[in-house]
Amino acid sequence: MSAPYRMDHTGGCPHAANARLLAQGAVAEVVLPGEVPGMAVLGHEALKEFLGHPDVAKDARHFTALREGRIPDGWPLKTFATVQGMVTADGEDHRRVRSLVGKVFTPRRVEALRPRIERLATELLDGVEAVAAGVAGNDPVPDGGSDNGGSDNGGSGNGVVDLRHHFAMPLPMGVIGELLGADPEFLDRLHALSTQVVSTDITPEEVAAANRELVDVLGAIAASRKERPGDDLTSALIAAREEDGDRLSAHELVGTMIVMVVAGHETTLSLITNAVRALLGHPEQSAAVRDGRAGWADVVEETLRWDSPVSYFPFRYPTRDLTLDGTVIPRGTPVLAAYSAAGRDPSAHGQDADRFDITRSRAVRHLSLGHGAHYCLGAPLARLEATIALEQLFRRFPDLSLAMPEAELPRHPSFVGNSVRELPVYLRKQAR
């Protein structure tokens, strides 16, 4: 039997390692940061079964090593286990919180956001063009926020602009800020802190500080909404808690807000970034959209499958010894859902699963937005944002191209998130 796979805390492109692991089986033993033993489910069918299995829990009371005090406070993945809210709740607790949050994500309310998203995308692309021309400063988040990662090339006038920094990041941040009722001055810190929360390459001290500050910032937003309620998710959750005090605790309120920021912002940011990278690396696929053989929604779905914005998501725990695809996962083991691996599983998506093809059959649906009771509530919104972003971007800049080789793009330092930290592009064709 091969030795457990050591998760690379510095991140990097996951696909080569995923292919090697998948060749050995659908379930793999892994070593998490801090020498914590765990497992990962990589195969499409095995992951689908695992995500919907009645004997698999999300509540960290089932995490044996944590319950026995063997996980330190500064463990970089601890937030994923201990945050209180929808993603770590089971049974009735999960249904209760999900029903409250779900009121914001009805098809009608999501569609009602379309004009706002379209306006925001247009405004941001105006800014992108100005930055490339060297006539704008660094202000990618609407109303005053900025990204703390990557170079901005702001005002350089060399025709290069970091599209992740100036477009892919502020679009979902602006939308999620509006949903939460967050005042503009909070957006900058929310982005920086959510990036740290999903990082697996920071020190225990940085982990603790980031989590404390994120709770403080979200607490300040909640206090602001309590004082001045509005038509937003935070106000709705506070009102529900005050009407029936045992329905949603203070910890659940902040925990739900954390999930909204991380899942609603980081995931969509990476989805847009990965889709642009994929299209620029596969110009024949862009041609398929231009000539009507596929649509922007097809680009979004194929990106979710081929280069999932979430690579290995923590955690689920078997409540009994569980046999999956012939491998026993012991009770209480922290298990990673390997979405990036399942998306390229040849047994589900064919022998060309590692090929980006927006015209491929959707007979087998990807799992990148989850499956079962914990399927991503914000999936329709993420799809809407990404579709609008891509349509507007490539309509306005049809000759968009990378300003550096794909292989040299710096990766996000995490095995949870899957993307790059910068996306420098030329907006128009460059003279030879």
**pLDDT per position as a tens digit, 139-158:** 544 433 334 444 444 444 56
d(CA 166, CA 14): 25
Q: How confident is the model at residue 431 (pLDDT cuts 50, 70, 90)?
A: low
Tell whether 293 is covered by a domain. Answer: yes
- What integer is the mean pLDDT of 20-24? 96
Domain that holds residue 11: 5-426
Tell whether 388 is covered by a domain. Answer: yes
The pLDDT of residue 27 is above 60? yes
pLDDT given at position 13: 94
pLDDT given at position 243: 57
The pLDDT of residue 18 is above 60? yes
393-to-142, 154, 167, 285, 432 alpha-carbon distances in Å: 18, 19, 9, 15, 24
Beta strands in 1-69 (DSSP E): 5-6, 27-32, 36-41, 56-57
Tell whether 111 is covered by a domain. Answer: yes
pLDDT given at position 432: 47
pLDDT given at position 93: 87
Which residues are within 8 A (CB) of 123 and not within 5 positions of it... i.e. 6 or more apart? 142
pLDDT digits (tens, 9 = 90+) for 87-142: 899 999 898 888 888 877 888 888 989 999 999 999 999 999 999 988 754 454 44
- What integer is the mean pLDDT of 172-187? 86
Tell whether 171 is covered by a domain. Answer: yes
Q: How many domains does the chain have?
A: 1
pLDDT digits (tens, 9 = 90+) for 47-81: 999 999 999 999 999 999 999 999 988 898 998 99
pLDDT given at position 156: 46
Tell whether 117 is covered by a domain. Answer: yes
- What is the CATH number for 350? 1.10.630.10
Tell whether 45 is covered by a domain. Answer: yes
Question: For residue 415, is the peptide bond before it cis, meaning its omega torsion is within 30 degrees of 0?
Answer: no
The pLDDT of residue 36 is above 90? yes
pLDDT given at position 84: 83
Tell whether 432 is covered by a domain. Answer: no
pLDDT given at position 182: 87
Tell whether 431 is covered by a domain. Answer: no
Q: How confident is the model at residue 314 (pLDDT cuts 50, 70, 90)?
A: very high
- What integer is the mean pLDDT of 399-409? 94
- What integer is the mean pLDDT of 391-419? 94
pLDDT given at position 267: 92
Neighbours of 229 (CB within 10 A): 14
Average pLDDT score, the chain: 88
73-to-36, 206, 313 alpha-carbon distances in Å: 13, 11, 20
pLDDT given at position 428: 86
Joined tokens for residue 140: 């990618």
pLDDT given at position 186: 83
Q: How confident is the model at residue 343 (pLDDT cuts 50, 70, 90)?
A: very high
367-to-278, 294, 305, 423 alpha-carbon distances in Å: 19, 21, 8, 26
pLDDT given at position 241: 59
pLDDT given at position 363: 85
d(CA 341, CA 17): 9
| 43 touches 342 (CB < 8 A) | yes
pLDDT given at position 362: 85
| Whole-number percent of the chain with pLDDT over 90 | 59
- What integer is the mean pLDDT of 323-342? 97
The pLDDT of residue 19 is above 90? yes
